[in-house]
Amino acid sequence: MSRSISQCVLALAMMSFAVACATPQNADLDRAHARYQTALADPSLDPKNSVELYEAKKSLDHADELLSSRAEQVVVSHYAYLTELRISLAETSSDTQRTRAEAEELLSQRRDIQLDARTAEADRSLARARTAEAQAAESSAAARSAELRLHELETQMQELEARQTERGLLLTLGGVLFEFGKADLKSGAESQLDRVAGFLIANPDRDVVIEGHTDNVGGDAVNQKLSQARAEGVRDYLSLQGVAPGRLAARGYGKGHPVASNETDAGRAQNRRVELTILNPGISAGSSLR
């Protein structure tokens, strides 16, 4: 009997471990949940009367949905950040109301007893309340602007058909970037790279590895030199758009890594490419070259 009970306990523990392993995790979202529960416990914050607290709950729920659908961690973290920002705004609004009430009380005392010291304190409190209101308005506008900008950048990355890999987001840019046999960027290539630069500037914790590839037409040395020059051309363009050079690493691989057969025109066209890997946060570009 004792052995059967032990076996049941062990089986339940293993099932719990399997469920835990299958459930996606995000530390930023966990922190946002804890922050929201703390806010709910604050008697000065009423969820029914606080617009910002209501918006925070919406952001938190959306982050939970994204995590459950296994969206990118950076997107989940962004909505977790918006949740904490809106909780901060709710707290600031509550503090502002309390400060205003104190200021009005002090003004009433000034009228009653005409104390210069209390008059000065009331004026300072009222000034602080006005400053807090202005800061709260600015923070709210900044949060909404950041949310819209992230949504725009996410849409642009989807249009570029980025896909998630073990190292990060992989974008494959075909021969449309360059003239045949040359390393100079075409005039139409900037629009694609501008989207990439915008995403990188908005996500300063992510480095990029740029890898150039060719087909098998021509000698090994020529293809190696051409692929390196093309990778460096993309790197230099992103740097000119404001991406820190230390976040960019470029390397050419010549014809050594084909993704299609070089026996057909279509296959060779696929092999003439530049691949950009937007690395996951915490991975440096210099350590991620093959």
Query: Token digits for 24?
Result: 């996606």
For 105-142, the pLDDT digits (tens) are 877 777 777 767 777 787 887 788 888 877 876 766 66
Pair 203, 119 in one domain: no
Q: 232 in a domain, yes or no?
A: yes
Coil, strand or helix: which one is 43? Answer: coil
Specify whether 131 is located in the same domain as 241: no
Same domain, 146 and 237: no
Boundary residue ending a domain (159, 175, 190):
159
Highest mean pLDDT among 55-69, 124-138, 155-169: 55-69
Give me the mean pLDDT over the 233-254 stretch: 94
Regarding whether 232 and 185 lie in a shared domain, the answer is yes
In what order do the strands lie in the sheet containing 168-173? Answer: 163-164, 168-173, 273-279, 208-213, 248-252
Domain that holds residue 116: 23-159
Cβ–Cβ under 8 Å, residues 226 and 203: no
Q: Are residues 210 and 140 in the same domain?
A: no
Question: Tell me: the pLDDT tens digits for 69-100?
Answer: 998 888 889 998 999 998 888 888 777 777 77
- Residue 244's pLDDT is 95
Last residue of a domain, one of 103, 125, 159: 159
Do 229 and 246 fall within a single domain? yes
* Phi, psi for 185 (deg, rounded to 5): -65, 140
Do both 120 and 185 map to the same domain? Answer: no
- CA distances to 97, 181, 249, 252 from 222, in Å: 71, 10, 21, 11
Alpha helices by DSSP H, the chain: 2-22, 27-41, 51-68, 73-113, 116-159, 190-202, 220-240, 265-271
Lowest-pLDDT choice from 116-125, 201-210, 234-243: 116-125
CATH number, position 238: 3.30.1330.60
